[in-house]
Amino acid sequence: MEIPNRTTVQEFIFSAFPYSWVKSVVCFVPLLFIYAFIVVGNLVIITVVQLNTHLHTPMYTFISALSFLEIWYTTATIPKMLSSLLSERRSISFNGCLLQMYFFHSTGISEVCLLTVMAFDRYLAICSPLHYPSIMTPKLCTQLTLSCCVCGFITPLPEIAWISTLPFCGSNHLEHIFCDFLPVLRLACTDTRAIVMIQVVDVIHAVEIITAVMLIFMSYVGIVAIILRIRSAGGCHKAFSTCVSHFIVFSLFFGSVALMYLRFSATYSLFWDIAIALAFAVLSPFFNPIIYSLRNKEIKEAIKKHIGQAKIFFSIRLGTSSKIF
């Protein structure tokens, strides 16, 4: 049998970035600010939780774990976007593309699992407050967090391994701003097996997202039912405020993820593909530190305390230095 002469693709070129240098710089500056804010904001949350013993509770343990994952989730894509915006050749190697897809989806799935655990944690805290301390122990928190990470880093492995075996012999122009399953699969040499596997990937993503959404939705239905029974206005407000930040994060993240991965045969224009991708890859992580710091009284007070201590420390140092000179 004669083997057709095929040139294997060694790299992909991102063709969705603006070609104009001015437009690239206009996109680069806010994206750099957002990435810096995400990294610094989440590092602040992790540091504040670690430094304050009264924040060593299950809820804040999960929040700091989510912040840690957010840093790596965004680092999987945004630095490459930034370099592509300032580069004439917006390319990524085939292996680099596979690695980007793997770390982007593994950290993303870990976040999905962790958000589900956080919803269940709030359900236990509000619906079973007396049994909550004995159920949600530090050991169980650690086990649940590690389980989320293990699930996240194992789940995308079969898809990545399968994509690595596909023949890419046509165009290497990737119509997206980072490597993702569907844009990469569209570049594979068309055959029946690839089309079937794209449908399988769609089903896998649908099962993952719908399962997580249903579990979180049921947790919040139970929470709302309990809150409505609380007669005290203060108690009702306190119970509601502990969950509203989690629900906002859940809505932002899962809303955009659902639009991207629950489309099945539906297709969007390139503009909407990029807009939706930016929503869950950039904007959702950008709002998380804001939501968890500005809407959380304990974290705000802890941040203010440490800022005040830093001011006192530097004022003492400056005073000492002025006396020496």
Whether the predicted pLDDT of 69 surpasses 90: yes
- Lookup result for tokens 């390139």: 270
Residues paired with 11 in a beta bridge: 93
- Lookup result for tokens 């399968």: 162
Cα 81 from Cα 18, distance rounded (Å): 12
Q: Are 81 and 34 in contact (CB under 8 A)?
A: no
Domains parsed from the chain with CATH numbers: 18-260+267-300 (1.20.1070.10)
Q: Provide φ and ψ at 91, rounded to 5°.
A: -115, 160
Question: How sure is the predictor about 171, in pLDDT bands with cuts at 50, 70 and 90?
Answer: confident
Whether the predicted pLDDT of 292 surpasses 80: no
Cα 101 from Cα 181, distance rounded (Å): 7
Residues 134-164: pLDDT tens digits?
999 999 999 999 999 999 999 889 889 888 8
pLDDT score at 147: 95
Does pTM top 0.85 for this prediction?
yes
Q: Residue 234 is inside which H or E element, if any? A: helix 233-261
Helical H runs in 166-191? 181-185
